[in-house]
Each structure stands twice: as structure tokens, then as C-alpha cells.
Structure 1
Amino acid sequence: MSDPAPNKTQDPLIASTVSNDQLQNLASGVSTLTKGIADLRTPLQTPLQAPPKRTVAPALALAPAPVAPTAPDVISLNVPSFATLASINPTVTVSPSLLSQFHLVELAVIKAIVNHNFRAADLYKLDPQHRGRGGWRAHDRDAMELGSLSSVIIPLGTYFSILGFAIAPANPSIGPIVSGFWAYIASLMQFASQYEWAAIHLYHVDFFTTRRREMQFGDYSQWGRIDVDILSRRLLGHNKVARPDALTPGILCMVFSLERSSSS
């Protein structure tokens, strides 16, 4: 007779004890794992901070190196800056006050003066003696060229008056410009006592043309000077020849005394 099979049912106390140990180990492992995960999450939840900026000392501003002035700059140091009407707007509108001030001068002539298109040969258009009802005669230009000092100075004065009136609003320092205008007239009068009129007229045409070109670029400052280059080309060698009837009172007295002494 065989032995009875052993009973495989474990003691309930032993089974309960093993189960509790396993639970404690599991709880301990879970706690350790939870702590490790928490340690890993802490740096991830910390906001990233930008690295501190390096403080760089500002560079010292270097003074710009002096630039040598060019030829036009050197010239501009001695020439006043005047606004040119023609270069800014070739079609300048003539103001009503300018027209009323010079109501005897044709509008086309005033526009030509203001825009610096008025030539030296056009001065006869400003001479009241040659201004008729039917316009200017064809021989007026020739009469001006063969005329006298007064035939240039009188219309030239009107020309300067119109030009000065036109540029005055844009040029507060109009005084030196006007002084140069009248200084030029004075130089012509001085030349008239020394040189022949034909040579003076050639000087005037060249001088006027040169100044007109300068004014187109805003330079009105050269009217008051004597152009030595033009003077040497046009006036030198053309001195007036003293006429016998143009003797000074001192010479006349000396001649009279000689005549009396010779007759006695």
C-alpha cells in the first residue's frame, strides 16, 4: 500500500508572509524609481538662462581726418554763396512787383535779365532813347556798338536795377552785390578818361559775358573787380591821344604868357 500524496496546499501564514515581503520590495523599488524620475525632471523644468553678456567697452570715436579742400572749395571760401535763379528754375516767374517797378521794360527783356540770358549786345533794349512805339529799330544795335560811354552806362544802370530787384528776396546780403554793380560802372567811367571808346566797348562786352556765365552758377561777386586779363587784351595800347584843343587851364596860361612875351 502506497504512501498518500503530499498536500500541495501551502500554509496560509507562509503565503501571506511572502506576499508582504514582495510588496515591500516592490514599494521600495517604486519609491526609488519615483525619486529618480523626480531628480531627472527637476533640471528639465528649470528655465534655461541665457549666458551673461560680455560687457564690451565702447570704442572711442575717432575724429575724422581733415580733408584737403579742392579747388572749387578754395574758391567758395572767398565767394559768397548766392542763390542762382536760372540754375534752380530755368523758367522763373517774374513777380508782379518787379513788373510794376519797371513797367516801361518789356516782359521778355525782364525775363532774359532774371534768367541771365540777357547779353551785352542787348543793352540797347534798355536805352529809353531807342525805345519807340513800334519796338526797337534794326540799327539800334549798331548805334549802341558805335555809341559813347553814356549809351552803355544808362541802360546798364537799368539792367543792374532789375537784376538787383529780382535777386534781393533770395539774397539777404544784397548790399555787396549792388556795390559791385556800381563799382563796375565807375570803372568804365575811369577807363573813358584814359582809353579809346572802341577799346572800352570791347572790354565791356568781354567782361559782361564773363560775369553773366558766373551768375548762371550763382556767383555775383566779381562785378566789382577789374579783370586784368581782359584789360591787358582790350585796353592796353589803346590810350587816348591828347588833342590840341584839350589843353588844361595851366597849359593855356603858359601859352598865353609866351605869346605876350614874344609880342613885346
Structure 2
Amino acid sequence: MSAPTNAELSTKINELTDLIRNLATARVRTPSPAPAQPQVQPSSGVQVTPLSANVIAGASLPDFHIPQWVASDTVSSVVAHGFRAADLFKLDHRARDSGRNRRALGITSDNKMELIEPSVEYRSLSSILVPLQVYFNILLRSISVSSTSASDALRIASAFNAYSMQLSVWSVDYEFPALLEYHQAFFDSRLNDMSLGIYLTWGKIDIDLHSQCLAGHTRRHTQASPSSSASTSSSRRSQARPSSGSSAAGQICFGFNQNSCNTSPCPANRKHVCTQCHRAGLGDQAHPAWHCPKSGSKAA
């Protein structure tokens, strides 16, 4: 194979120079992955670039796949992270329909007559979770039109789901007014995080708020525990079954005849008498049915 000519070497050098120049240019134009999230703390993980006003204004309701009756200004408020927890009822069709039926003429602060919206109260977990799901759905749809990756969007959706599940668990353990107080304070605290592109804090418990709002407000469960119920049921079965409308006095104790009630006198005020012969036995010593001479199965 002959050696390359000077012209060929010059051509190769020029091609190599152009390649290096192109690679350097591409490296400058391509953003480095590390600086993409300069404000995100390690615990937050994912940062979402806030949507610009023109994206919000240009997004129609069908694009977000949310209920058509939700007002466009409400959607914009949610996406811009200005929608507060106290207004969550605006995303609940039940409160909307109920409020529409209960509106009445009233006098405003400037002495004008107009339709006054009724005050909305959150009285159950459902009054939080139903509109909260719509709220999260709006956020997820807005995230889907941003530059957020699919994996990051999935992590954000998981954080939303974790918060809803946490509320469900706490609704069993804590009084609802205390849970509502925690929810509204926690919700409003997330608005600042989301304005910075931080969403994963939805999936974390705020220890300080938990201490302030929930501590000392544990529900008082009136239902007996399973072990207590089983013990009570067993105790009832060990006693005689009274007839309807009759008292326990004078009735035969079935617990005595099953060798489970050996206290004399009977704690239930029933008679320790054999159900086989209806006698107490010889002398003053009563005998149960399993020990009755007439039963034919007297124990040794």
C-alpha cells in the first residue's frame, strides 16, 4: 500500500480539525446535566421548570383532561401555584352543585344586593380527597406539557399518591378537625416549593406540623378490640341463655354444666343445677351434666 500524498494528508487533517471543532461546539451548546437542578435539595430529587404564562393561557381544558365545569381561572391559579387549600371545594362538583342550590340574595359590605355564595365547610375526608384528586390531575397535566421527563413525572405522581394515602391512614387515627388543620397548612406550604419546581415534598411528612396539629388529637375508638369482643362473646356463651323478657335469677347456668363456671354462688345469679336430672345431686354438692349419673358418660 502506497504512502498517502501530501494532498491526502492535508485533506485528512482538515477533516479531523472540522470534527474537533464540531464536537467542541456541540459540547458548549449541550447543557450539562448537573447544573440543570441547582436549587434542588438532595431530598427533593426532581425539579420541574415552572410553566410560562403563555403556556397556561394557551392550554384549553380538554388538553388538561379535567372536568369541563372547572373554571379556566381556577385552572390557571392551580398551575401558577396560587390556589390555596381553603379553595379546594371549587374542584368538588358536589360542593359546586350544593352551593348553586343554596345561593341567596344578600347585602354585601358596600350595601349592594347580590347572590351570596354559602360558606363551605370540610366535614369529612371525602370533602378533601375528591377535589384533591382533581387538583393533582391538573398539576400532572401541566407537568406533562413541560420539559419534565416521564420518569420524573412518575415520581411526582407517586408523591401525590403517598400524600393522599397518608391522609386516609391518619383519618382513622386522628380527629378530623385536627387532620383538616394539618392538611391546609401542609397544602399551602407546598405552593412555595412548587413555584421553585420542587414537587416531591408532597410525599414527605412535616414533623413540625404533625406535632402542632395532630399530637394530642387521637380519635377515641368506642368499638371493642377483637380480643375483647372474643372474650365477651365466650363469656356470654358460658352463661345460660335467658328467655326473652325474663331475668337471670332462677335460670340454669349452662357454664356450670359445661365445667366453665365453677364459682359459687354463680356470678350471673343463675342456678348450678344439672340439666340432665335437674337436681343438685347427693347432699349439698351440685353436679354438672357431664358428671350426672344419668348421662352414662360420667368422668372417671
Q: Structure 1-normalised TM-score?
A: 0.63
| Secondary structure, aligned partner of 2:238 | helix
Aligned to 1:120: 85
Structure 1 residues 226, 113: CA separation in 2 closer, same or farther (over 3 Å shift)? same
Q: Do structure 1's residue 159 and structure 2's residue 135 form an aligned pair?
A: yes
Q: Distance in 1 between matches of 2:138 and 2:40?
A: 27
Q: Do structure 1's residue 93 and structure 2's residue 61 form an aligned pair?
A: no
Structure 1 residues 226, 209: CA separation in 2 closer, same or farther (over 3 Å shift)? same
Q: Is the 8 A contact 2:64 2:141 kept in 1?
A: no
Q: Select the residue among 82, 85, 94 that pairs with 1:129.
A: 94
Aligned to 1:255: 232
Structure 1 residues 188, 78: CA separation in 2 closer, same or farther (over 3 Å shift)? closer
CA-based RMSD of the aligned residues comes to: 2.5
Q: Can you list the C-alpha shifts for 1:244-263, whole angstroms capped at 9, x where unaligned?
A: xx224443222122233354
* Relative contact order, higher structure (CA 8 A, sep 6+): 1
After TM superposition, the structure 1 stretch with the greater mean CA deviation from structure 2, 231-240 or 74-83, is: 74-83
Mapping 1:27-106, distance limit 5 Å: 76-79=41-44, 80-85=46-51, 88-89=52-53, 92-96=56-60, 97-98=62-63, 101-106=66-71
Q: Is the 8 A contact 1:125 1:136 kept in 2?
A: no
Structure 1 residues 74, 184: CA separation in 2 closer, same or farther (over 3 Å shift)? same
What displacement does 1:229 show? 1.0
What displacement does 1:139 show? 3.0
Q: Can you list the C-alpha shifts for 1:96-155, whole angstroms capped at 9, x where unaligned?
A: 2435543121112111111111110011111111123948853352x22xx111110111
Query: What is the identity, as a one-letter code, of the residue corresponding to 2:192?
Result: R
Higher helix share: 1
Unaligned runs of 5+ in 2: 1-36, 104-116, 241-252, 254-300
Q: Is the 8 A contact 1:112 1:118 kept in 2?
A: yes
Aligned to 2:217: 238
Structure 1 residues 192, 94: CA separation in 2 closer, same or farther (over 3 Å shift)? farther
Structure 1 residues 90, 236: CA separation in 2 closer, same or farther (over 3 Å shift)? farther
Aligned to 1:184: 163
Q: Distance in 1 between matches of 2:188 and 2:155?
A: 20
Q: Is the 8 A contact 1:130 1:136 kept in 2?
A: no
Q: Is the 8 A contact 1:180 1:223 kept in 2?
A: yes
Query: What is the identity, as a one-letter code, of the residue corresponding to 1:114?
Result: V
Aligned to 2:175: 196
Aligned to 2:22: none
Aligned to 1:65: none
Q: Is the 8 A contact 1:92 1:111 kept in 2?
A: yes
Query: What is the identity, as a one-letter code, of the residue corresponding to 1:197?
Result: F
Mapping 1:140-155, distance limit 5 Å: 140-141=119-120, 143-144=121-122, 147-155=123-131
Q: Is the 8 A contact 1:124 1:140 kept in 2?
A: no
Q: Distance in 1 between matches of 2:156 and 2:142?
A: 12
Q: Distance in 1 between matches of 2:229 and 2:219?
A: 20
Structure 1 residues 199, 134: CA separation in 2 closer, same or farther (over 3 Å shift)? closer
Query: What is the identity, as a one-letter code, of the residue corresponding to 1:252?
Result: S
Q: Is the 8 A contact 2:159 2:200 kept in 1?
A: yes
Structure 1 residues 75, 169: CA separation in 2 closer, same or farther (over 3 Å shift)? closer
Unaligned runs of 5+ in 1: 1-71
| Secondary structure, aligned partner of 1:102 | coil
Query: What is the identity, as a one-letter code, of the residue corresponding to 1:106?
Result: A
Q: Is the 8 A contact 2:163 2:203 kept in 1?
A: yes
Aligned length: 186
After TM superposition, the structure 1 stretch with the greater mean CA deviation from structure 2, 192-201 or 100-109, is: 100-109
Q: Select the residue among 192, 212, 217 that pairs with 2:196.
A: 217
Q: Is the 8 A contact 1:195 1:235 kept in 2?
A: yes
| Secondary structure, aligned partner of 2:205 | coil
